[in-house]
Amino acid sequence: MQTVVTRFPPSPTGYLHIGGARTALFNWLLARSTGGRFVLRMEDTDVERSSREMTDSILEAMHWLGLDWDEGPYYQSQRFDLYQRFIDELLDNSMAYYCSCTPEEVEQMREEARKKGEKPKYNGRCRERNLGPGPERVIRFKSPLEGETAFKDVLKGDVAVDNRELDDFVLRRTDGAPTYNLAVVVDDVDMGITHILRGDDHLSNTPKQVLLYRALGVDLPVFGHVPMIMGPDKKRLSKRHGAMSVLEYRRQGFLPEAMSNYLARLGWSYGDQEIFSQDELREKFSLHNLSKSACVFDPDKLLWVNSQHIKSASAQDLAPVLQEFLAASDLPSPEQDYLLQLIPLLQPRAKTMQEMAEWAAPFVRADGDLPYDPELLHKFLTPEAASYLERLLPVLRELPRFDQKSLESRIGSFLEEQEIRFKRLAQPIRVALTGSKASPGLFESMELLGRESVLARLERALQLAEA
């Protein structure tokens, strides 16, 4: 049985964005679900626009998403000799030729074709001139003039293009650099790629690549052109729709497992299931479940998926991530044991790890550093509320056990003694302990903070409210 070999070939001229990350994920999942191999290749033949910074950023994003590779990363800029050998083979077999036409002349050919209502393309002027190497000459592929070029696509079905629609496309530029179509086919042949999943914006290149495969006498890989990701307005996804680089999502507090889950569901399904672990994705992914329809990027759905992964993650796994976000917000990072108690209180509320850090802030600050909004103190720590809190302080000092159950029971008794309802004191206590109107459960929060901090914060809030 043939081993499945897939690849992801980003161009390091920009950051890894949602569309590219989904392409990488689909190819990685296909390799992993079949016991195959996944190859990473940098298509950096555009030397002027490619950069080491972009390359490192792409690699970092791949690592963060957990998309490990079995081979590579290969760099096309280091493989020019290989491309030239294949070009020489095509020249020797009269399947390619030198062309001396200038860009201006080629544009004029296209313009003349437009005027005649024909497809604008190179007219083959140098096709039979038998030119040799020379300055400012490109090398073109000798495309067939009749018939059609056909291939099967796992999503599009049978695809065929009239060869009269194709022109003799360039294989090597005047500066000696290979073109995209030549380099990608040579690399895929050399690396033994068996399956190619990519966005359907590449579909127009595929007939040219099919011609090259056949000219080189090699079998075609399995093609799958996945519909593009659209914005809510049904236009191609862009920054205006909220799409960002993958690493920007990390900086905003999205988990890599959630990101992979959401990306996989943008064009793939498994029944009605929405939430998948990465292990489940590897186990259940199949080409048969890829969608033939365009999918819409929904930031709110991504946020929901992230919240589900935060809820289901272990505190042990979330602790180091939370520490990173606390540090990024210049907040203290407490001991691991304390975080492991704090995180379960925050998981039901936090949609991102950045939000979790914000919810965690009152619990990790020193008692004397907790900021208070004067308006909140004035609104909730009224003279009446303050008088009740003053009476509550000795009750809390004398409580034998300072845990959730004991706190709930004793404060309940205190409220009965004072003949007041819980809501009369709940918000004043919450504001005094956290500086906010919203927090995790009050008694759980008090147990976590501990007796010393609870008393210190209540006393400080009462002093500030009186000032």
CA distances from 174 to 82, 125, 130, 177, 180 (A): 18, 17, 17, 7, 14
Handedness of CA 249, 254, 259, 262 (dihedral sign): negative
- Check: CB of residue 420 under 8 Å from CB of residue 450: no
Strands (E), 227-356: 229-230, 295-296
Encoded amino acid at 326, one letter? L
CA distances from 173 to 2, 79, 155 (A): 36, 15, 33
Among 96, 82, 45, residue whose Cα is nearest residue 186: 82
Give the total residue count for the chain: 467
Q: How far apart are CA 194 and CA 35, in angstroms?
A: 13
239 is catalytic: yes
- Residue of 119, 152, 235, 239 marked catalytic: 239
Q: How far apart are CA 12 and CA 53, in angstroms?
A: 8
Handedness of CA 411, 416, 418, 419 (dihedral sign): positive
Catalytic positions are 239
